[in-house]
Every structure is written in C-alpha cells, then in structure tokens.
Amino acid sequence: MSLKDQTVQDHQERLNRALLFIERNLEQPLSLEEVAKEAFFSPFHFHRVFSAYLSESVYTYIRRLRLERAAVMLKNQPISITDIALKSGYDTPASFTKAFKQLFGINPRAYRRKELNLTHALKPVFKEHFQNQYHEAIKPDYKKIPDQQVLFVRRRGPYQKAAQSAWSSLMRYAYRRKLLGPETRAIGISRDDPKITAEENIRYDACLTVKQDFKPEGEVGFQTITGGNYAVFFHRGSFEKIGELYNLIFGNWLPASGKKLRDIPCFEVYSSENLRSKSRDYKTEIWIPIT
C-alpha cells in the first residue's frame, strides 16, 4: 500500500469515528475541539480534512443534522416545539425557529401543520390502494433485542445508488476475510428522510453483524446498533415498493398504535438471499424503534 493510500485509509477511519461521535451526541453541546479529539486530529487540521471529505464545515454539518432531526420529530412525534428546540441545541424557541426557517424556508409550526395535513389527505389513498397488499405487513411483531455490534461502510447520495455502492464494498471486504457465517445478519441503516435531506447528503450504512469487537480498517468502520424495543414489519418484493410500506407505517399504523418512537434510526434486515440473488422478490424486515 502506498503512503498516499495509507493516509486516505487513516483519514477514513478517523472520520468515521468523528461522524459516529456526532450522531451519538446531537443533543449535547459539541465543540470543534471535542469532535477533533475523538478523531485524533488537531482542531485546525480536522476542520480542513472534514470540510474536504464532506463539503461542509463541522459546524454546518452538526447544525444541519440537528435541524433535519427536528423536522422528523415535528412530523412523527407529538413533542412540543419548545422541547424539540432544546433537543436540537437551541436555548429558545425563537432561535430554533429562525434557524429552521433558514434551512427549510418555513417555520416549525407551519411545517408540522403542513405535514399533518398531508398525512390526513393521503391516508384514504394508502388504505384504498395498499391496505390489501400490506394487510399482514402492517401488523408488526414486537421484539426486544440487545445491542448489535456491526461492521459498516457508509455512502452518501440517492439511497438506491448509495446502498448498492456500500454493499458492494462491504461484501468484498467480508468475503476476503471470511467474515460471513450462518448467523451473520445483513442490516441497512437509512439515516435520513429523502423528503427532508438533500439527495447528495443522504446517509446509508451497509452493516454486517459480528460477535466481537473489531478494529476499523479504512472505510470499514465499527458501530453499535442500539438494542431495546422494536416493532418489526415485513416486506416482500422490490426495494422500489418498500416506500409504500413506510408510508403506511408512519401514516397509518403509528398514529393508531399509541406507540412512541425512540430517537434512533430505523433499520432494515435483509435475508441472505437478498445479497446473493438477482431476483427482485426480496424479503426485508423493517425495524422501528419504539419505547
């Protein structure tokens, strides 16, 4: 491996550490010095490396993630705007409203009202066209699991392209090192809502479960998927159609269920056939974190 390749690999490992650290601590005050320390960079050099790789400054990246997470909460959780402002790192609703409007062009209250009106308008359409197809799928199993340790490769961009690229890289790595076994689970984490996050900034993590701690290597990182309570839904068919089931889950099932979402990402579990077969009749589990 050339010195240049070693440097790129080292930077990728350390950036993965920083990105995971930011995602775990979005509700906490985060300084450039803290994030740089987690990545073993000096603040000055970290700022330059981060901006070069992600085309955003550390501050802009953190601010955008907090506001996009706030938009998800406004859509899906009956939390007051004041509480969402505090969870997003703002001291007052006024400062939160100003920042939210700068990013989305609409204030939080109007955004929530618009999303609620859209959900109510679409519900009859979902019921008419998809209720029969997903009659069993919208009756979830409820499961409680421990934390899951996984290897992962992250890609950014449109979900379909990002997922394909991430899985291609991770599977090559896993096959070469004989990391795949009968108990290995393939998990996809779609960290952003395409209706909220700009296409080029959407994050997708392709993950494989492992039983022991693992030393990150270049773009292949190591993270823990939070355990706890989940509602598990089942989809069979092409990935292009899976969005219809998500619409039913969040538009129909969630409001009627009385369940509350935990503030961690949903994830998908794929059957081993999905990764080997060229068939489009995929089997996918959708895991929704609930309290």
Residues 6+ apart with CB under 8 A from 208: 150, 151, 152, 170, 174, 179, 180, 184, 185, 186, 187
Q: What is the pLDDT of residue 23?
A: 95
Q: What is the pLDDT of residue 129?
A: 44
Separation CA 36–CA 46 (nearest Å)? 6
What is the arithmetic mean of pLDDT over 34-40?
A: 94
What is the arithmetic mean of pLDDT over 185-211?
A: 93
Q: What is the pLDDT of residue 134?
A: 47
**50-59, 72-81, 158-167, 231-240: range with lowest mean pLDDT:** 231-240
* DSSP one-letter string for the chain: --HHHHHHHHHHHHHHHHHHHHHHTTTS---HHHHHHHTT--HHHHHHHHHHHHSS-HHHHHHHHHHHHHHHHHHH----HHHHHHHTT-SSHHHHHHHHHHHHSS-HHHHHHHHHHHHHHHHHHHHHHHTTTTTTTTS-EEEEE--EEEEEEEEESSHHHHHHHHHHHHHHHHHHTT---TT--EEEEE-S-TTTS-GGG-EEEEEEE-SS----BTTBEEEEE--EEEEEEEEEE-GGGHHHHHHHIIIIIHHHH---B-SS--EEEE-HHHHH---S-EEEEEEEEB-
Residue whose structure tokens are 């939160």: 96
Q: Which two tokens stand for residue 5?
A: 């390749």
pLDDT at 56 over 60: yes
Burial of 230 (0-12, 13-18, 19+ CB in 10 A): buried
Model's pTM, two decimal places?
0.84
Q: What is the pLDDT of residue 121?
A: 54
Q: Quote the longest CA-to-CA distance of the chain.
A: 60
Separation CA 291–CA 275 (nearest Å)? 31
What are the tens digits of pLDDT across the range 102-114? 999 999 999 999 8
**86-90, 127-131, 232-236, 272-276: range with lowest mean pLDDT:** 127-131
Between residues 107 and 274, which one has the greater pLDDT?
107
pLDDT at 130 over 50: no
pLDDT at 125 over 80: no
Q: What is the pLDDT of residue 279?
A: 54
